[in-house]
Every structure is written in structure tokens, then in C-alpha cells.
Amino acid sequence: MLASIVDSLPAIILIVAGVITALAISGDSEELSDAGGAAMVIGYLAAIGYQIWNRVIRQGRTGQSLGKKVVGLKVVSAETGALIGMGRNLGREVCAFFFNQFCFLNVLWPLWDDKNQTWHDKVASDLVIKL
């Protein structure tokens, strides 16, 4: 949970910075100027880019997002214990997004699962281990 919070903070900061910049440029919260709208879009795109880099690329290559590194966790293959790579990690993150959006039970599943896996861990056949 703490790892997710740490991973989310930079994205939230980028979005908030885009919104504040948009409001400062436009001077009116009722109707954004073109430049204000562009600032907001840039903030959202920067947040999405950060999440892709952190949760797909970085975590796929090292087994750790920034949040997992801070907390001391690593994503590895359930079969081999090796890194799962960017492709499998992308599938894991897409599944996590949908499972978390549609059913909160995914987040709670590790509490009673034998291997402490969420549904997206099971789909990707990975484990999150403590270092």
C-alpha cells in the first residue's frame, strides 16, 4: 500500500501543477484559454508518461517501481524468481488497473491468499517479494 502511495505522488503533483498553471494562465476557472487547456493537457500527459516509465519500464527492467524500491519490494516470476520483463509487467499493470477499477476485492485478496498474490499477480504469474 505504501509503495502505491509513493508511486502515485509524483503523478498527482504533475497533474496538480498542470491544473494550477492552467488556472493561472486563464485567470478564470469557468472557461480555460487555449494556453490554459494546453497546460492542463501537458500535466496529464506528463503524469501518464511518468506512470508508464515507473510502473512498466522501470519495474519491468528492475522488478521495482520507485515505491517498491523505497519499501523494499520486488516483482519476480512465480516460477523462476527472475524478473518478469516489460511485456509481462505491462500485462500485469493493465490487469491491475481494470481489476482495481471494477472490484476492490483485488486489493484485499493477498490477505487470505496462500502466496499473498492479487488477481493481477496470478494472471501475470508473479510474486511480490520482500527484500
At 27-75, the pLDDT tens digits run 877 788 999 999 999 999 999 999 999 999 999 999 999 999 999 999 9
The whole-number pLDDT of residue 30 equals 79
What is the mean predicted confidence (pLDDT) over 77-82? 96
Asked whether residue 118 carries a pLDDT value surpassing 90, the answer given is yes
Residue that is written with C-alpha cell 528492475 in the block: 62
Percent of the chain with pLDDT over 70: 99
Q: Count Cβ atoms within 10 A of the Cβ of residue 96 and give its class: 0-12 exposed, 13-18 middle, 19 or more buried.
A: buried
Cβ count within 10 A of residue 30: 5
CB 39 within 8 A of CB 87: no
Checking if the pLDDT of 20 tops 80, the result is yes
Using the predicted structure, report yes or no on whether residue 10 has a pLDDT greater than 90: yes
pLDDT of 5 reads 95
pLDDT at 80: 96
Q: How far is CA 13 from CA 55, 111, 128, in A?
A: 17, 31, 27
6 closest CA partner among 45, 58, 81, 43: 58
What pLDDT score was predicted for residue 27? 82
Structure confidence at residue 104 as a pLDDT band (50, 70, 90): confident
Average pLDDT over residues 6-23: 96
Cα separation, 17 vs 79, in Å, equals 42
Determine which helix (DSSP H) or strand (DSSP E) holds 33, and give its type and residue range: none
